[in-house]
Amino acid sequence: MAHAQESHTKRIWLVFGFLCIITLVEVALGLAKPEALYFTKFLGTNLLNWIFIILTLVKAYYIVWAFMHLEGEKKWFRRVIVWTVVVYISYLVTLLLIEGSYLNENLKSLVNWNY
């Protein structure tokens, strides 16, 4: 591969800094729990959780692309890996989370919280 001899040191440290900043933002948001985000429901969960999930995916992208160096691989090799994982996991998440909500709706009336 052509990139094999180049040095990526500077980019590596930049990505490290970026990942640290994202983690710090996540922790700060998790501690602060801003009301406007925490209590606004959107697509099954609250906005704060959506921010966490998106930031996690951003982190995952940088780890896979920069650290695991998928950006340097052939296009179809990347697609074999990424499409397989993304399609299958999205499918699984959708089915099982819908099922989980269904279980909750049907079972919660059977749980007694008052004595």
Partner 1 sequence: MEANIAVNSEQTNAWSGGGEKPFAAKYGKMMMWFFIVSDALTFSGFLVAYGLIRFKFIDSWPLADQVFNHFPFMHGDHPMLFVALMTFILIFSSVTMVLAVDAGHKMKKAQVTWYMLLTIVGGLIFLGSQAWEWKNFIGGAYGAVKTKEGKVLQFVKDGHQIALSDFVVGNSGDRVAHTKKNGLWFEEDASLPTYSLEQVKNSYEHNTSILIRTEQIDPATKEKRILTRDEGTRFLLTANKVVEGANLHENEYGKTLFADFFFFITGFHGFHVFSGILINIIIFFNVILGTYERRGHYDMVEKVGLYWHFVDLVWVFVFTFFYLV
DSSP state of 7: -
- Give the C-alpha distances (Å, rounded to integers) separating 44 from 6, 61, 77: 46, 24, 34
Q: d(Cα 113, Cα 115) in Å, to the nearest integer?
A: 7
6 CB contacts (<8 Å, ≥6 apart)?
none
With tokens 């990942």, the residue in question is 19
Using rule CB under 8 A, residue 100 touches partner 1: yes
Q: Which of residues 34-93 bind partner 1 (CB under 8 A)?
A: 38-39, 45, 49, 52-53, 56, 59-60, 63-64, 66-69, 73-74, 76-77, 80-81, 84-85, 88-89, 92-93
Q: d(Cα 96, Cα 25) in Å, to the nearest integer?
A: 29
Per-residue binding letters, 17-36, with partner 1 (x by CB under 8 A):
--xx--xx-xx--xx-----
Which residue ranges make up the site for partner 1 (CB under 8 A)? 1, 4-9, 12-13, 16, 19-20, 23-24, 26-27, 30-31, 38-39, 45, 49, 52-53, 56, 59-60, 63-64, 66-69, 73-74, 76-77, 80-81, 84-85, 88-89, 92-93, 96-97, 99-101, 103-104, 107-108, 111-115
